[in-house]
Amino acid sequence: MPELPEVETMRRGILRAVGSRITAAGRVPCPKRPILVQPGPAALQKKVVGQRIESIGRVGKRVVIHLEKGDALVFEPRMTGLVLVADPPTREHLRFRLDLKGGPLKSIWYWDRRGLGNVRLLSPKQLDEQLRGDKVGPDALDITAAQMQQRMEQSKRAIKVALLDQRALAGVGNLYASEILHLCGIHPARRCDLLKIEQWEAIHCRMRQVLELAIMHEGSTLSDGTYRNALNKSGGYQNHHRVYDREGECCPTCNRGSIVRIVQAQRATFYCPECQRNRR
């Protein structure tokens, strides 16, 4: 967390910065441990100040600000990072800011409670080396069912674990993987190499549905309240979760099973044992 819907919401929230020029950039003094910002303050200022923002994209779970000279500022939120244009949840966890002129936004802020995220300026070559090719898989909203099957069907890993592999598929994380598999009626421990073609097609179909609906609701704000959109407002998709973080509750799909929590690859998984039986 944040996953594709939350990061796409952040991207859309700062789109008004396109066309603006950067007047200042750098770390915000923070009493907590500093986040990784590359290059250092002086070099970063020298490289980006005066540049125009050409476009704002997304690579998996990262917001990418493309600059006129070809470099890109990459925000990677990891666990608790937020890209904001409004007042942050707290001042003490502000980590980085871009000041702008020539457009409707005065600043873009990066806030990170746990400080696990990073901000990096990458050249076109570095962008290709680090965020394309075999480093980051096809985006979950762009990949076809056939491509997804081809990339995963030989694996003996559980399908839930495979969906989290960002080299195979970019953007899906723990929360949305549980929701997708529930809607498919597929047990999260089912091995990839045992899935049938119609199951791969169902996963792909439900994946698009879940992610697009979550984007429409501007992501999920969980009980810890950490995730916020660019205007520091809560998302709304948490109100549509069917299994995630609902251990012990009656399944809303079948009204028979109770939601179960298990741990896979050190991450919590939620599913209904009635709807999602691991049939051999």
Catalytic residues: 2-3, 61, 267
Alpha helices of 26-144 — where are they, by DSSP H?
A: 41-48, 124-131
* Residues 271, 257: Cα–Cα separation, whole Å: 9
- Which residues, other chains included, contact 91 with Cβ-Cβ below 8 Å and sequence gap of 6+? none
**Nearest-angstrom CA–CA distance, 244 and 188:** 13
Cβ–Cβ contacts within 10 Å for residue 168, how many?
Answer: 19
- Beta-bridge partners for 100: 22
Instruction: Tell the burial category of 75 from Cβ atoms under 10 Å away from its Cβ (0-12, 13-18, 19+).
Output: buried
Give the tokens for residue 236. Answer: 């709304």
Question: Residue 7: what residue type?
Answer: V
Q: Which two three-digit tokens encode residue 259? A: 């939601």
- Does residue 89 have a cis bond before it (omega within 30 degrees)? no
Residue 218 has which token pair? 């501007």
Pairing of the two strands 36-38 and 118-122: parallel
Phi, psi of 30 (to 5 degrees): -135, 135
